[in-house]
Amino acid sequence: MIASLRPQSFSALLLLALLAPAKAQAEPNEAELRAFRDTAERYAARMAEFEGDVRQIVDLTEEEERSRILSSFGAAMARAEDDGNTLRRVTIAKLETFLQRYPNTRYSADMKFRLADLYYDESELDFVARTEEYGKLQDQAESNPSMVLPEPPEKDYRRSIGIYNDILASYPDFEYRPDTYYMLGWCYGSSNAMQQDDEAARDAYLAIVTRYSKSVFANDSNMRLGEYYFELPATREDPVANVRTAIKYYGAVLADGPTGRNYDRAIYKLGWSHYKLNEYDRALAYLVQLLDYSDSLYDRSGRVADTRKEAVEYLAISYADMADRQGKKPVDIAKAHFAKVGDKRWEHDVIERLASILTTQAKFEESVETYRFLQSNWPLHPQNPIYQHEISQIYAVKMPVHNDSAAGQALEELGEKYSDKTSWYAANKNNPDAIAQARGFIESSLATVATEKLIRCRETTDAAMCRDAAVTFRDFLQKYPFATDYDQYEWYLAYAWFSAGDFAEAARQYQQVLKNPHSTFKDGARFQLMKSREQIALAKYGKLEDVPQGALVTNTITTPFGKQIVQYMVSDEQTAFRVAADDLADREFSDPEWIPVLDKIRPAMAYYGGVISFTHGYYDDARKRLQSVVNRYPGSKEAGFSAKLILQTYTNEGDIPTLVAKARELNVEDIVTEGTLEICLQTGRGGDHLGSAECYGKFLAEFPKHKYASVALYNQANQLDLGGQTGQANVLFEKYINENPTDERSKSLYFRIASGYSSILELDKAIRYFETLVRVAPENVDSPAALYSAAFLRTGIGDHKGAAQAYEKYANLPNVPDAEIIYWKAGEQWELVGSAQAIEFYERYLRNFPSDRPGFNASHAIIAQSKLSDLYLAKGDKRKAAQKLADLDATFRDNVSKGVNSDARKLAALAPMQALVAELEAFKTFKWTTNEKTNAELVLTKKPEELRKLTDDALQLIQTYQDYDAAAAALYVQGAAYFAYSDIVYAYPLPPGLNEEEQQLFQDLVDEKFSPIRIKAEDTGKARLGAALEKARVDKRWSTWNSKTVELLHDRFPIEFPSERQESRGTLNDSTMETAGPASPKSGGAK
């Protein structure tokens, strides 16, 4: 690694090691010594040249120097690789064998050091080889994203480090211990090493500077220690401690003087370190010292210090930072510093760099001021035009808010200061590069501004900005008619006018480009001329082919088929477009950028030329142009459009035979089919509906899979219908909707077909088509009616579940006015399906139509609750049955004033009526006692009170429910109650223990006392029941309660009230409620 620093060559050391006597070990035999000596001498001889080229790398102490040498190192290795690798491996093997056998000879340390050195070489070469292989893998990975790269290669110094540590531990007197420490630090400090250990490297370098300060490695070690502490992160306890430690080691390097290694780098890092400590004066002093040293080095050797560029950079940065901190202008900080340190040759370089840095920092005004200072302080400097040009660029381009005025002023100053009439020009006349640059800037400055404006125009698409760019280019071309790249700027001018939307100016400028014999933009100009004229026509007429309003009529032609064709004058703008388009029709471009652009638009360009003739009535020219599109661009959409327009010309002329023939001739299916369809259509419009239907039939036979086959089928059916063939039409209509169930036309046919099947009682088909309409077109106006019809028909075929579901679905449609009524119809169907389904429906009905919902029907709610009560009772659920009756009563009472129908009233009255009859039964049930007083109270007090209540309850039933059956029942109860009371009075018992005479006396007293009461009760009951029968006669109504009334009256008054005859009833509503007969006391009885 460091052979150049040793006093003896490797061969000499090796010979000394081999010839010296061993200590406390067996000496090697002569054969071994001779073999080893021969190998070493061959290696030394063959590697002489290799040492000259390659071994320099190990003497480098800076990583960047090592990188710079690698290229020559690689070249040398390429020349000596085969021999060098072989000899190195042989030498390593010999050294390893020798040291294994004789580890403690007098020269073992030297031999181990050399072996470690060879191991180091092998590590480096192995790393280079593996790095090359890794680079190949990286190249492969770029084209294979899924490839997973292994970890990058690292250097393996394990063997070298082991030997270096062994030497330091085992050979305290080894002459080259500084060398060993340095190599150990180098290995530990390598950033690509597996064994990288910055602290171990630091310790190795510390050993050198503390124990071997006079060593040749002390300078490099101090430098590396400085770098270690400089890069070491700051501590919380003392943030600047590491920087100050770095300064100590950099100072030690500097103490070796200008001839020492790393002198300029140490100065630079001292300046940087003091800068980090905010010690700007010392930092600037070191940077000044470095730049002065670089100048003196240049004077001596013709080269500058390696860190000169960095020094200029950070001196300029320091000025900028100090200006920020002190609130001053950077150029003033620089002026003050140079006033302090005196004139320096490198002052201009620093100020120039300061100006550039200020631009990068977006401190544009300070940058401009600095560039102006450069020009004023060094007025004849060759770079001055560059600085002035940069000022214009700052104002025109780089500032966030462009200052075009200031940019223009800067460009004017450029011409004033550095044209051929200025002192600067005279001073630099022998500098052709500076002169040419100044001329180029002056000429191109205006073009540059214009180009920048054009760029912003393209980025923003702002018409005003594009117009500004066009004006700037125009002024430039007028001022510099012989400018370099004139034809390019001429093209830019045309493009700017086009982008600004001034297509007339753009067209004129594109024509100028075409007149320039040297222009390389002629292809683009021809294309853009056509586009400009197209835009002019579009702007004026809206569409390229439209006939302008008020266009002059040039001719009116009457065709042999009686059609009139009006011909209009084609406008100048449309003519200009066609001239430009015709020019491009057969032209072949040479510019590869414009070739695909033109090829892409050729069909449309040719097509619109024909369309203009078509719309203006020039059919012969239109057909010629459009036929050319068909022939030249077959398969394009423009060819299809052209063919259609060709056919349309014949259609407009009324020449149907030629239309059909031409369609066949074109041999393009969609054109043929559409032409055929047009014939069918025109035939129908002419009144020949059956002929039209036949035409459509032939079309379908020839093109059964055509995209318009369904349209043809529909039209065929429609024409048959119009021609009176309704039966055939319906068959085809049905076929149409089966093939196109979701088509808009089908939606209007479903109802029609379904109604037809319904009328002939083919109900299944009728239902299918009604429901298909609902499924495929629920929004259709006929869908609600179709759904209702399907429900109704399902009732007819006994599909009660389907009917019920359809009724419910109908009722749930939006905006159905009769929703509740139709929904209610489902109940009857659900009852036919089953009791469980009926229960679910009526519960669902009550939920869906509560009392607060619009459309609430109280009568239906009462009936639903009544039905639910019966259904729950049949199911055995008495609790729910009772609850539904309670709900029914509440619903009735809440809504009776709003109107409840008779069925609902009847059902609502049913439970109260049952309660009233039960009350009657309770009234008739009593028991005599042996207590005379109790019996008297029963007859005179208790029963009269119960009778009053019973008659009041009956009256309440009549008034509340206003139902005929309920009223008949109530009147029956009233009459039966009075009869029962009469019987009770009549059956008043004799007290016990009376003799016959006493009994007769008691009976006389009872008759005297109770007979009026009994007779009154009897008469009242008879009157009430008689009134009930009279009402039935008058109302011509009858019920079970009327029959019971007749029966009761007949039992008591058989002659006056004969038994009931059926014919006497007339038509009646009958109630079948189970009731009790006359009073039958459990104890006592009537006489």
Residue from 14, 85, 91, 11 nearest 50 by CA: 85
> pLDDT band for position 248 (50/70/90)?
very high
Query: For 947-998, what is each residue's pLDDT tens digit?
Result: 999 999 999 888 888 888 888 899 999 999 999 999 998 888 888 888 888 8
> pLDDT band for position 288 (50/70/90)?
very high
Those residues whose C-beta lies under 8 Å from the C-beta of residue 236, and which sit 6 or more positions away, are none
Those residues whose C-beta lies under 8 Å from the C-beta of residue 523, and which sit 6 or more positions away, are 589, 590, 591, 594, 595, 598
| Bridge partners for 155 per DSSP | 193
The pLDDT value recorded for residue 957 is 87
Q: What is the residue whose two structure tokens read 């050399």?
A: 114
> pLDDT band for position 17 (50/70/90)?
very low
Consecutive H or E run containing 568: strand 564-568
Query: What is the C-alpha separation between 100 and 429, in angstroms, rounded?
Result: 77
Residue from 977, 974, 964 nearest 1040 by CA: 964
Buried b (16+ CB within 10 A) or exposed e, 986-998: bbbeeeeeeeeee
pLDDT at residue 1037 tops 60: yes
The pLDDT value recorded for residue 15 is 31
Query: What is the C-alpha separation between 839 and 866, in angstroms, rounded?
Result: 11
pLDDT at residue 763 tops 50: yes
| Bridge partners for 553 per DSSP | 568
DSSP assignment of 841-893 equals HHHHHHHHS-TTSTT--HHHHHHHHHHHHHHHHHHT-HHHHHHHHHHHHHHHH
The bridge status of strand 553-558 relative to strand 564-568 is antiparallel
Task: Tell me which of 391 and 1086 has the higher pLDDT.
Answer: 391
pLDDT at residue 3 tops 80: no
pLDDT at residue 11 tops 60: no
Q: What is the residue whose two structure tokens read 């009462």?
A: 862
The pLDDT value recorded for residue 33 is 46
> pLDDT band for position 564 (50/70/90)?
very high
- Residue 901: CB atoms within 10 A of its CB come to 13
> pLDDT band for position 437 (50/70/90)?
confident
The pLDDT value recorded for residue 53 is 37
Task: Tell me which of 1002 and 527 has the higher pLDDT.
Answer: 527
- When the pLDDT of each residue in the chain is averaged and rounded to a whole number, the result is 84
Consecutive H or E run containing 354: helix 347-360
Question: Which range has the worst mean pLDDT, 266-280, 593-607, 960-974?
Answer: 960-974
Most confident of 67-81, 329-343, 833-847: 329-343
pLDDT at residue 377 tops 90: yes
pLDDT at residue 83 tops 80: no
The pLDDT value recorded for residue 165 is 96
> pLDDT band for position 903 (50/70/90)?
confident
- Residue 702: CB atoms within 10 A of its CB come to 11
The first and second tokens of residue 411, run together, are 């460009």
* Beta carbons of 157 and 193 less than 8 angstroms apart: yes
The DSSP call for residue 226 is H
Task: Tell me which of 424 and 412 has the higher pLDDT.
Answer: 424
The pLDDT value recorded for residue 762 is 82
Query: For 223-235, what is each residue's pLDDT tens digit?
Result: 999 999 999 998 8
The pLDDT value recorded for residue 68 is 42
The pLDDT value recorded for residue 1036 is 87
Task: Tell me which of 936 and 164 has the higher pLDDT.
Answer: 164
The pLDDT value recorded for residue 38 is 53
Task: Tell me which of 415 and 469 has the higher pLDDT.
Answer: 469
Is domain 544-662 in CATH 1.10.3470, yes or no? Answer: no
Residue from 1044, 1024, 1030 nearest 974 by CA: 1024
Buried b (16+ CB within 10 A) or exposed e, 645-668: bbbbbbbbbbbbebbbebbeebeb
Name the percent of the chain lying above pLDDT 70. Answer: 89
Report pTM: 0.42
The pLDDT value recorded for residue 914 is 87
The pLDDT value recorded for residue 391 is 93
pLDDT at residue 289 tops 80: yes
Q: Where are the domains of the chain?
A: 1-216, 471-541, 544-662, 902-1064
* Beta carbons of 872 and 881 less than 8 angstroms apart: yes
The pLDDT value recorded for residue 82 is 62
DSSP assignment of 896-927 equals GGG---HHHHHHHHHHHHHHHHHHHHHHH---
Consecutive H or E run containing 297: helix 280-301
Query: For 448-500, what is each residue's pLDDT tens digit?
Result: 777 878 888 888 889 898 998 898 888 878 877 777 788 888 899 999 999 99
pLDDT at residue 1026 tops 50: yes
In angstroms, what is the C-alpha Rg of the chain? 61
- Residue 1055: CB atoms within 10 A of its CB come to 6
Task: Tell me which of 931 and 202 has the higher pLDDT.
Answer: 202
The pLDDT value recorded for residue 889 is 85
The pLDDT value recorded for residue 78 is 52
pLDDT at residue 630 tops 80: yes
Query: What is the C-alpha separation between 136 and 132, in angstroms, rounded?
Result: 6
* Beta carbons of 444 and 452 less than 8 angstroms apart: no
pLDDT at residue 380 tops 60: yes
